[in-house]
A and B are shown apart, each in its own frame.
Chain A
């Protein structure tokens, strides 16, 4: 709550973005950014909270029973408390995306890595082991996340296994817990690989975009045919013996904007954990524009109704973006720190080069350093504390730390002017900085359409919370 200067009459004024009144599926709700409180409002109260959001003081609004209820919630601290974001911490990586393959056995027409996957380069097992050695040395805490990505990571299966086996050994020696994941198009996902992943706790991210027609729109085989039949058959094998540890991850685009149907189709096929993301693309044939937002809202609202119905009828499934956890969420440091690209999270390409994010893989402007395959000649490297000795290579630690510090600042919410007074800041943490860079040309310029879609699905997810409370 902000008050006027001493001596003036105290007025209750809502700082910009501190509360947000919105309507989903006919229900009007209020979310409080700082306290996390969530209210369902009647129309009379919603009119008052809208006035507060527009800068009116509560005292300037005529007395009513609705106003009295609001005053009580303000008095007891349920709403209208200030947001205070903590300053940036010193961060270093604890999460790695190992791009073990630039090769792919498919030719998806919306692939974000299409520019680099043409190299058909695989990561050598030695490079992967070096990466695991490195992350288990530099990760500040106990928990480390490693994702195998591509291209298609299953094409570098020996590299995956070498990394996992090294990780299991090194994590014991160094008291770490490595949590693995692998993103696959499912084409090469045979029973041996499924069994290995389950045995070694490698969570699987299964790329399916919905039913056959939707999936095959973009997810093409090398000869231009559809991939749904084989991919879905292999993916369903995972669901037979796993009680968790996987997500179906779909992408929707302009041509598959009816994604609520896609999610329903996947649920009806038997998939119980589903995440769907809008494509990030400036191609008008694929990516979204402002005019698409009303349709996207309708799709999320339809999906939310289905999700709630399924939960209530005993046929639940997980939809990632609806699974808000308002009670056990991350701390203020985490919220303020953003996604962590370039500081807590790095990607490593097949040749051992470090990038701030998998989406920036191969962009020469953003290379951060490299895990070298060979020992440099004597005298060609910095020595002493600034160089990290690895089994067969050296890494410029001082140079990397400069990058971590730079990206820590870029990620921090105080450096995202569009976010600092946004109602969604404590749920979103400021968006994807790689998308900002790719679409808007700057890390600090918010990717507008992505931001709007994020806010829509957060509103709908909060509605889901209200329905299930």
Chain B
């Protein structure tokens, strides 16, 4: 084997048409860090909590 698949098509599992815009703004999500959306989780998929961090 030449290739090990770590993740296969994860973006296909994402809700691509929700347009709900409930997600956090990326700068907000961890302490005024610069823009990175890769480590955000879709709000429709995560457990609701009152903590933002």
Contacts and interface: CB of A to CB of B under 8 A. Distances in A.
Interface of A: 29, 34-42, 44-45, 65-66, 69-70, 73, 77-78, 89, 91, 94-95, 97, 140-143, 145, 147, 149, 177, 179-181, 183, 201, 203-205, 244-247, 249, 273, 275, 277-278, 280, 320-321, 323-335, 338-341, 344-345, 357-358, 426-432, 435, 450, 454, 458, 461, 465-466, 469
B11 A330 contact: no
A181 B40 CA distance: 17
A179 B7 contact: no
A427 B37 contact: yes
Contacts of B52: 145, 179-181, 203
Given A42-B2, A331-B18, A325 B38 contact: yes
Closest 6 CB pairs of A and B: A427-B38, A249-B31, A179-B52, A36-B11, A203-B53, A201-B50
Contacts of B35: 338-339, 428-432, 454
A97 B52 CA distance: 14
B20 A141 contact: yes
A94 B2 contact: no
16 contacts: A38-B5, A40-B3, A73-B3, A141-B20, A180-B52, A181-B28, A247-B53, A324-B39, A341-B25, A426-B38, A427-B37, A428-B35, A428-B38, A429-B36, A430-B35, A450-B34
Interface in B8-25: 8-25
Interface of B: 1-28, 30-43, 45-46, 48, 50-53
A339 B25 contact: yes
Nearest to B24: A145
> Among A34, A358, A428, which residue has the most Cβ atoms of chain B within 10 A?
A428
A22 to B, nearest CB: 14
Given A38-B7, A345-B27, A69 B2 contact: yes
Classify the secondary structure of B's interface with A: loop
B8 A37 contact: yes
A353 B3 CA distance: 54
Which DSSP category, helix, strand, loop or mixed, fits chain A's interface? mixed
A329 B1 contact: no
Contacts of B10: 35-37, 326-327, 329
A426 B3 contact: no
Given A143-B43, A429-B35, A435-B34, A339 B27 contact: yes
A35 B23 CA distance: 21
Contacts of A41: 2-3
A331 B16 contact: yes
A95 B28 contact: yes
A141 B22 contact: yes
A330 B23 contact: yes
B20 to A, nearest CB: 6
Contacts of A39: 3-6
Given A203-B52, A249-B33, A45 B2 contact: yes
Nearest to B15: A331
B33 A320 contact: yes
Contacts of A140: 21
A426 B12 CA distance: 13
Contacts of B16: 331-333
Given A39-B5, A201-B50, A330-B42, A358 B32 contact: yes
A145 B28 contact: yes
Contacts of B34: 277-278, 280, 431-432, 435, 450, 454
Contacts of B13: 327-328
A332 B37 CA distance: 11
B39 to A, nearest CB: 5
A344 B23 CA distance: 10
Contacts of B51: 179, 201, 203, 244-245
A249 B50 contact: no
A44 B2 contact: yes
